[in-house]
Structure 1
Amino acid sequence: MRHSEFWERMDQHLGAGYARVWADTQVISELGGRTPTEALDAGVIPKTVWRAVHARLELPASER
């Protein structure tokens, strides 16, 4: 997964106006106590970040 696909999925599920705000403010323990944005900036691969976001949002398995 590329960064662009990660952000497309975020926009799809949270809306373009809210996705980045959510990613900047939600601390997720599976990401080492970082926000999704911090994790991506630290070099965590987008697929790993997406899996953590997916679990936090309790999205259906088909959206993995």
Structure 2
Amino acid sequence: MRRSEFLRAVEAEFPGRSSALLEDLVLTALEGRTAKVALSDGAPPRDIWLALCEEMDVPESRRHGVGRLEPRRR
């Protein structure tokens, strides 16, 4: 998962709350860091996404494949 895919996934799953969650929610799985701090520390976006999903009780069915854009048609 790329950073851009991560950011799209967060916005799609938590519309209107994504900024607050990224900046304020402390994630236990990320050693008590926020998603924003973990990103700036170089943590893989997919690990952050999964930690955020775990903390926010996002169902397994919505954790995979989100944030991706459809491939361009040629």
Using the size of structure 1 for normalisation, the TM-score is 0.91
Which of the pair has more CA radius of gyration?
A: 2
Aligned residues: 63
Aligned equivalents of 1:26, 1:33: Cα separation in 2: 9
> How many percent identity over aligned positions?
32
Structure 1: segments with no counterpart, 5+ residues: none
What do residues 11-60 of structure 1 show as CA deviations (whole Å, max 9, x unaligned)? 01111x32012110000111011001100110000000001001011111
5+ residue gaps, structure 2 = 64-74
Q: Which residue of 2 aligns with 1:34?
A: 33
Identify the structure with bigger relative contact order (alpha carbons < 8 Å, sequence gap 6+).
2
Query: Where does residue 71 of structure 2 map in the other structure?
Result: none
Question: Which is richer in strand?
Answer: 2
Structure 1 runs (4+) deviating above 6 angstroms are: none
